[in-house]
Structure 1
Amino acid sequence: MKAVETLARFFRAENERDWETYRAFLHPDVVWHLHGEENRTIQGVEEYLRTIRDAYAASDAHFRVEEAHEAADGRRIVVLLVDDSGMRSFEVFDVEDGLIRREHEFLLG
């Protein structure tokens, strides 16, 4: 399966708030860099899951992939996401052993 297809399944789990399925896509040493008003680095699966659950705790927002591009070797994917309210983010994912190893998320507004 191509990395971009794996990422589409990851996003589907996020939109469905299926956190057990979502967890299966994360590398044990995952690192998530948030770039925006508050720059923050989240490390490890448990902190990643806690952060994403907290972000959706009082929200029913969903998003869609507007664009996705995969590197020729399948190890990097860049995506442009847009949520229900029109807010956008640009994200870069590094994939290792078929799992998300690193994510850089840039909130665009």
Structure 2
Amino acid sequence: MARRTVQLRVGGQTYRVVTSASDEELQRLAAVVDQKLATVVPAGRAVTPQAMLLAAIALAHDLEQERTRASVIAGRARDAFGRILQRVDAVLGAGPESPSSSGANDSTR
């Protein structure tokens, strides 16, 4: 995709960004930043560089929380799928309960 200049409005300021990303994606992301700024800057107040930093830190914190949640969910899903596969293997005779996989000998039964 070709690089071009896009204008984004965040915190009451217009920024020109050279990018290859889609306009829609950038506008959507700029809106997320603008919404976060609205939570850290009182209405009617100017957006300072410190406010932008605070909004960026808040967004980074949100991202870390979501990554942690996703990791926990992925771990639980892996564990659940592992248990399901063990049960399926057991039912099909290929699991740990199977005589052939436990090392048991048919002649000792």
Using the size of structure 1 for normalisation, the TM-score is 0.23
Q: Tell which structure's C-alpha radius of gyration is larger.
A: 2
Using the size of structure 2 for normalisation, the TM-score is 0.23
- If each structure's strand is expressed as a fraction of its own residues, which one has the higher value? 1
- If each structure's helix is expressed as a fraction of its own residues, which one has the higher value? 2
